[in-house]
Structure 1
């Protein structure tokens, strides 16, 4: 029996407008999931003050969706490799919407955290599906830019959460704040179902001849390890930046949320710039190493200034918070593009699932661990200690093993 024919249009047959519209829709879908996964971090001030939780306890609640996400990313990657991006994203977004609705209706913080765990587990679909949509529809010399745009979804989703969820939680309670990511996931579900087309790939019968990319060398494993280290300062800033502004500096939740939202927009632009730079220099990993150096230096300076007092120093610290929020997220698109390009059409879903799992495994530990550190030593030490991880990541970036792009 002859193998089924792939009737989807080839890259050259698909208009540029349609490629960019699918990129926009997949970015919006990932942004909605990012709001669901990372938005609960902005409930920490309300949980800390009104629910009487310690920072470590509130951080644990905020980490619930990240913990759920971590548990399912490889499984969703397998779904993507077997059934395609569209099926995985539609199924996942539907489940995110249902779990988010449950989180808004259940009583008690523990039940809400359980629903958020399920929502995070379902949101893994949009994370695992990010690679082949870009690699399959865009040529090599445009993939860095395209993946940079695609990875803008995370800071944009965090920005939406910062701008809305802290204020809603303060005024109407933490359950009401979950309405925001739930509504976004439902809207993204409709867009994906209408617009997204799975990219073409070789016949499925060739999959058996495709070698496991993890067996040939440590290239992918080193990228996973590097990304896991670089995610620590990113999540320290995301999780406790707003809380620092509110608790230590006495800012109103609305003003602090506006600043954090602005930093996420800057971070999104940073990812686009990093992706474009990688296309220009024909390397994903050299810019990634540059970003690791910048993240280490910025977090160290932020820690020093956050631990000091005085109006001028405080202004400098807030500016450094903005810079750190941009720098610490700029590497993600580079790593995702490098992983998807090396893994190929039959392994990209699982490889990106492993990539995300390693990142979120570390990220899920950041809120409670950093909360303990900040509780006992202060925000300055919490920010400064996070600078050690990107410093350790610098020699791990496999620049010498990277093939030239294009």
Structure 2
């Protein structure tokens, strides 16, 4: 039964994230149809992530009090209904409003799906299960990147919203119909302490800061990949979107593979995340060299970035789950993901603004490299803890 639960949680994650993760692939068309620049496009990406700043901690409390089945199902349903209503949007400001509502609904899906998986899997397989579950986001992004530009080109951006709404509603229905709580809680090793004590734990604080920095890289990939390949490497929007699909597909593989590696020894989780950051830095360095203008080299760099710059999430969320106080897994996940939302909201418009102000992508990639470097430092407490356990 637990593998069925994992499958439906992954599907619901992919379905709820489908449209918002495809905005980057729709970027050239949205810029043309709505008459907006890169900064305004980045604001569209951020709009769907603004409400979770407040919504994720609330969702965490709800998940600790009520059945995930209804909390997650209701949130995914709000995403679907809002996107369908968005087909009535008359322009850019109305679309921003729609995406704010979408974000409110999505607030329950990410922590709720993670908590549901954590409750069904013990520590020895939790990293792998979390990696598969978290692969739902890049999976949804890859499918969206492959289909939404085609739908948008043929029928307009409103048809893309309709598709996203129907997919989200399918995810909500699947979770409500299939999900059940486990007959007995799976064994979970947690740190002791209260909710306030979470922020006094230096290792957990480091994990939170690392999450903020690395989610910035992941968000930047979704926004800038197509634009960089189109403007710098000279690829058509269609070919650039195809590489974005490959990048997101690599992220799916990375989330599963890196999480599986981290399960071999729980002390290896921080090492896996650290190695991912080093790989991200190498690829970002390539993009700001003349090789970043080569279609082959830039395409390979983006696929590499997809594997490591998206794949880090499974081991990271397992770290957060295992550090949660007893009975507060939902709150801990909601808190961690709310902290990440700060970067998800602020980084896309900032990256777009840097692109508009400088006329290139060097400053944007450089900022993400700095964030990856900060993440390396932030995980030092986890690496010391891993060495002491070893």
Q: TM-score, normalised by structure 2?
A: 0.91
> Is 1:199 the counterpart of 2:182 in the alignment?
yes
What CA deviation, in whole Å up to 9, does each residue of 1:219-257 have, x standing for no partner?
222211111011122211111101222344443333222
For 1:298 and 1:281, the matched residues in 2 are separated by 27
Structure-2 residue corresponding to 1:293: 278
**3-state DSSP of counterpart to 1:251:** coil
Structure 2 CA distance for partners of 1:83 and 1:23, relative to 1, 3 Å: same
Higher-Rg structure is 1
**3-state DSSP of counterpart to 1:273:** helix
Following TM superposition, by how much is the alpha carbon of 1:23 offset from its aligned partner in structure 2, in angstroms?
A: 0.2
Structure-2 residue corresponding to 1:51: 34
Structure 2 CA distance for partners of 1:167 and 1:379, relative to 1, 3 Å: farther
Number of paired residues?
379
Structure-1 residue corresponding to 2:188: none
> Is 1:392 the counterpart of 2:354 in the alignment?
no
For 1:60 and 1:395, the matched residues in 2 are separated by 29
Structure 2 CA distance for partners of 1:236 and 1:354, relative to 1, 3 Å: same
**3-state DSSP of counterpart to 2:182:** coil
Structure 2 CA distance for partners of 1:345 and 1:186, relative to 1, 3 Å: farther
Runs of 4+ displaced beyond 4 Å: 402-406
For 1:83 and 1:31, the matched residues in 2 are separated by 23
Following TM superposition, by how much is the alpha carbon of 1:91 offset from its aligned partner in structure 2, in angstroms?
A: 1.1
Structure-1 residue corresponding to 2:12: 29
Structure 2 CA distance for partners of 1:215 and 1:44, relative to 1, 3 Å: closer
For 1:328 and 1:368, the matched residues in 2 are separated by 19
After the TM superposition, which residues 268-347 of structure 1 pair with which residues of structure 2 at under 5 Å, given as runs? 268-283=252-267, 284-305=269-290, 309=293, 313-344=294-325, 346-347=327-328
For 1:303 and 1:155, the matched residues in 2 are separated by 24
Give the unaligned 5+ runs of structure 1: 1-17, 203-208
> Is 1:354 the counterpart of 2:338 in the alignment?
no
Structure-2 residue corresponding to 1:144: 127
Structure-2 residue corresponding to 1:135: 118
**3-state DSSP of counterpart to 1:198:** coil
After the TM superposition, which residues 220-231 of structure 1 pair with which residues of structure 2 at under 5 Å, given as runs? 220-231=204-215
> Is 1:158 the counterpart of 2:141 in the alignment?
yes
**3-state DSSP of counterpart to 1:343:** coil
For 2:387 and 2:65, the matched residues in 1 are separated by 27
For 1:300 and 1:157, the matched residues in 2 are separated by 28
Give the unaligned 5+ runs of structure 2: 186-191
Structure-2 residue corresponding to 1:15: none
Structure 2 CA distance for partners of 1:111 and 1:189, relative to 1, 3 Å: same
After superposing the two structures, state which structure 1 stretch, 169-178 or 361-370, moved more. 169-178
Task: From 336, 340, 345, give the equivalent of 1:364.
Answer: 345
Following TM superposition, by how much is the alpha carbon of 1:345 offset from its aligned partner in structure 2, in angstroms?
A: 5.1
Structure 2 CA distance for partners of 1:306 and 1:107, relative to 1, 3 Å: farther
Q: TM-score, normalised by structure 1?
A: 0.87
**3-state DSSP of counterpart to 1:42:** coil
